[in-house]
Structure 1
């Protein structure tokens, strides 16, 4: 008797999937450069090999590329360190009183703060319009015969001419005339307390308690 054996062979098929990640980076780094160079040597025409001078130029370019990358990394490290040092050093300004551009008068318990007037030429008359926190004009104070440069108008002189009995912060705008009654440019400087310090595009900006934001380069006095 013949026994028929039926056989079945199963074959497993393994599928390998290769994922290619594309990169948007179009610049060449050191690895890319070496890969291109070795590929060029591998597939060069034996009857017309790469010229030695061309090979030297390519190696020189590679060396320069490597140096540039290293210099950029070192520069970035230095910039980060300088930013950290700047933030650390300027943090000490918080709580300090500074003199900066802006017309601000503060009244506390009846004491009026000083204000500094700066004119580029001798002024026959300087007027200070004083406004309350609502923008209403309180009074106008006049000072005569100011020499070119900075002149401090004391708080007592201000309170003697203007009714500043209410505590608060007052804003001031100035105007000036010379002896021929021609208008002059005038700048006001006043004190304020630093409440915060920020770095903005390489500049250190101080925020004062009266709301002013001033560059540290414009601060003329720190106490």
Structure 2
């Protein structure tokens, strides 16, 4: 099996990505402060210009003061919310940066091939004795097939394909390829397994407004797409 790497390892640790959106908290705070200043100005003007013989009704004044207290409370809530959003955004960025240099499995089997090698990760279920691996092109045609025998149930199987063809010399044309993994049990039953594309995280970008991972295979993914990650071999 020239150029093909099959590695059985312990199950990759699942990692859920957390995404956050940094809102324009400063504009919200400024808007609330403007409203607060306007409220005080109107209330002060009303008290200064009231008729001494016909002062502002106590009930009305109490209602206005309650409104002031509610506005002040809302402003404090906005400040707390802005701080929470900022903290969440910073935490999400730290999580994204922690993926740099790791091999990331993400929720897609399709990968673009332009030479080099492609890697997939397959989780092996209980009862599986062997796994058939088929690399298919965008048209669904099988270009390479191999079988991994003596797989360990409960482990993860890492499969690397270098573009080799099963029925021809040379390597596959550039294009999009996916992996179909089928597990066979001792009783003859089979089951299709989920195959996740795997590539090394080389960069973090904020071009979309949220941190995203740029992978060695040229794919850019969100943190929500990350299924698992492992230290680079």
Shorter-chain TM-score bucket reads 0.5 to 0.7
Q: 1:114 to 1:71 in 2, by over 3 A?
A: closer
Q: Normalised by the size of structure 1, how large is the TM-score? A: 0.57
2:220 pairs with 190, 213, 220, which one? 213
Q: Secondary structure at the match of 1:211?
A: coil
1:87 pairs with 61, 85, 93, which one? 93
Alpha-carbon shift at residue 182 of structure 1 (Å): 6.4
Which segment is superposed worse, 33-42 or 146-155?
146-155
Structure 1 Cα separation of the partners of residues 119 and 41 of structure 2: 71
Q: Which has the larger radius of gyration?
A: 1
Instruction: Establish whether residue 222 from structure 1 lines up as the match of residue 227 from structure 2.
Output: no
Q: Normalised by the size of structure 2, how large is the TM-score? A: 0.55
Give the unaligned 5+ runs of structure 1: 1-24
Which protein has greater RCO, CA pairs closer than 8 Å, 6+ apart?
Answer: 2
Give the unaligned 5+ runs of structure 2: 1-30
- Write the mapping of 1:115-134 to structure 2, written as runs, cut at 5 A: 115-119=120-124, 122-123=127-128, 126-131=131-136
Which residue matches 1:60? 66
- Write the mapping of 1:116-195 to structure 2, written as runs, cut at 5 A: 116-119=121-124, 122-123=127-128, 126-131=131-136, 137-143=142-148, 149-152=154-157, 166=171, 171-176=177-182, 184-195=191-202
Alignment RMSD (CA, Å): 4.7
Q: 1:115 to 1:150 in 2, by over 3 A?
A: farther
Structure 2 Cα separation of the partners of residues 46 and 196 of structure 1: 70
